[in-house]
Structure 1
Amino acid sequence: MANDINARVETRLASDRHRAIIDLLEERGTLRVADLSKRFQVTEETIRRDLERLEGEGALLRVHGGAVRNRKEGLEIPALQREAWNREEKRAIGVTAASLVEDGEIIALDASTTCLQLAKHLPDLHLTVLTNSIAVVLELANRENVNVILAGGYFRRESLSLLGVPTENMIEGYHVDKYFFSCHGFDLRRGVSEADELQAQVKKSFISISEQLILLADSSKYNRKSLVRLTGLEKVDKLVTDNKLPVNCVKEVKQKGVHILVAD
């Protein structure tokens, strides 16, 4: 039992470290093994294994003494990799967010792995779901009471989503009661932001047609800024996050008029 617990803890620490490495790489463009070893207080051999795994997932390219951004893959991290980050927090957030959906509503879901968790836990209600996520469509394929609309466009393999002007145009022809979406980061001054420009443009289209904006973001995304600003935090109606967001941060977000739901 102790060995199982230790193994789970080590897996969680490695997952958090991988995410932090990717974030640093987006900011700096290049990283050194020695610097990462000091930052995360692990051996250089551990960092080399981390970089080897991330290179295998297409997230970076290893070079002598460190790593550089894999520009061929763009800024978006593959969905299978993102799904492993903060898995339990995302599941809890998805369950809580699903409880906000009411019978007869028209909702929109983005292509994030957190919204995929919401889809997995949707109650058996009569709904219409608008999305650009193929993963969400597959998850809801057997829900007889759910009418699914997939916004077509150019296929993005990394996120299993559809993007581009065709997607945006189709979305803007609809109206939804609630838009559930995630982000790369959010803070008080910058607001809600996204790393990938194409995903950001689609999310802005969803935002423009929605009565309510419900942000699903775990606590690691607070005080993080990214390339494209989606909207001001004061425009968000509700934030569903995990219980690791510090009390002072909760107060700061609430002062922006955002209703916060904490997922256990």
Structure 2
Amino acid sequence: MIRVRGGAIRLPKLNIAEEQATTEKKRFHYREKRSIGRMAATLIQENETIILDSGSTTMEIAKNLHSFKQLTIITNAIDIAIELSKYKRFNVILLGGHLRDSSLSTVGPIAENTLKIFYCDKLFLGVDSFNLERGVSTPNIEEANINQTMITMVKETIAVFDSSKVNKKSFAFIAP
């Protein structure tokens, strides 16, 4: 609402996704995220090098890698790296950089430059919003930058998100 002489006017909702902490995101659409995580894990092949972006849906992928013996997994998410360490058989690479408290992820030039030394098979990209005309986006510019770098370093990008992210747009563009 904005105040005007004699009252207030309700502004139309812009439908721009706001950033939520990962701990909050976990609580919503959990069954869908769990199903997406199981399905996405079936797209991985033994001995691949994959990137798991930060996010509650990508965390569900990390929880569904029981059938694999050998994977190299690069992530910018501290909570996902901890989850992956439970397997004790994967080569896990945690990117450095500036820590974002809300997502428990690293961003910035250190993370981006480190990513540029790897060639990877697949990226599982967690996104905050998806729109057919505008593509995928996130509320945070640094997150968008690291995601764009991730996309350039892989053969295949797989965006993982539940239906609550559809027909939304956020502040920072990631990809079409």
TM-score, structure 2 length as denominator?
0.87
Q: Which has the larger radius of gyration?
A: 1
Q: 1:102 aligns with which of 45, 63, 66?
A: 45
Q: Is the 8 A contact 2:138 2:170 kept in 1?
A: yes
Structure 2 residue aligned with 1:240: none
Q: Is the 8 A contact 2:32 2:162 kept in 1?
A: yes
Query: Cα distance, 1:123 vs. partner?
Result: 2.9
Structure 2 residue aligned with 1:149: 93
In 2, the alpha carbon distance for the partners of 1:27 and 1:201 equals 19
For residues 169-219 of structure 1, what are the alpha-carbon distances to aligned partners after superposition, in whole Å with 9 as ceiling and x for unaligned? 111121110000121111221111111111111111100101001110111
> Unaligned 5+ residue runs, structure 1?
1-23, 29-74, 233-264
Q: Give the AA of the match of 1:102.
A: Q
1:1-264 alignment to 2 at 5 Å? 27=16, 76-125=19-68, 126-232=70-176
In 1, the alpha carbon distance for the partners of 2:165 and 2:16 equals 15
Q: Is the 8 A contact 1:180 1:214 kept in 2?
A: yes
For residues 122-161 of structure 1, what are the alpha-carbon distances to aligned partners after superposition, in whole Å with 9 as ceiling and x for unaligned? 1332100000000111001121321000110111121111
Q: Is the 8 A contact 2:128 2:138 kept in 1?
A: yes
Residue identity over aligned pairs, in percent, reads 35
Q: Give the AA of the match of 1:97.
A: A
Q: Is the 8 A contact 2:15 2:169 kept in 1?
A: no
Quick check: which one's helix share is greater? 1
Q: Is the 8 A contact 2:16 2:171 kept in 1?
A: no
In 2, the alpha carbon distance for the partners of 1:26 and 1:152 equals 33
Query: Cα distance, 1:231 vs. partner?
Result: 1.1
Q: Is the 8 A contact 1:124 1:145 kept in 2?
A: no
> Unaligned 5+ residue runs, structure 2?
1-12
In 2, the alpha carbon distance for the partners of 1:198 and 1:155 equals 11
Larger relative contact order, structure 1 or 2 (CA cutoff 8 Å, min sep 6)? 2
Q: CA RMSD in A?
A: 1.7
Q: Give the AA of the match of 2:110.
A: P
Q: Give the AA of the match of 1:89.
A: E
TM-score, structure 1 length as denominator?
0.59
- Deviating beyond 6 angstroms after TM superposition, the runs of 4 or more aligned structure 1 residues are none
